[in-house]
Amino acid sequence: MTPKYRYLLIYGDGGHANALREIIGHHTITICGDEWKTSRHLSDKIVIGVGLVREHPKRTVLFNGMKEKGYSFPNVIHKSAQIEDSAKLGVGVQVFANAVISSNVVIGDNCIINSGAIISHDCVLGDNVHAAPGGVLGGDVVIGRDTLLGIGCTILPGIKICKNSFIRIGENVIANI
Binding site residues, its own copies, CB under 8 A: 15-16, 18-19, 21-22, 51-53, 78, 80, 82, 84-86, 96-98, 100, 102-104, 114-116, 118, 120-122, 132-134, 136-140, 151-152, 154-157, 168-170, 172, 174
- Torsion sign over Cα 172, 164, 98, 22: negative
The residue among 111 and 132 lying less far from its own copies, judged by its C-beta, is: 132
The residue among 65 and 170 lying less far from its own copies, judged by its C-beta, is: 170
- Measured CA to CA, the distance from residue 64 to residue 24 in angstroms comes to 23
Contact predicate 61/81, CB 8 Å? no
Contact predicate 100/84, CB 8 Å? no
Give me the half-sphere count of Cα atoms (radius 13 Å) on the Cβ side of residue 153.
Answer: 22
CB of 111 to its own copies, least distance (A): 17
- DSSP class of residue 57 equals H
CB of 58 to its own copies, least distance (A): 15
The residue among 46 and 123 lying less far from its own copies, judged by its C-beta, is: 123
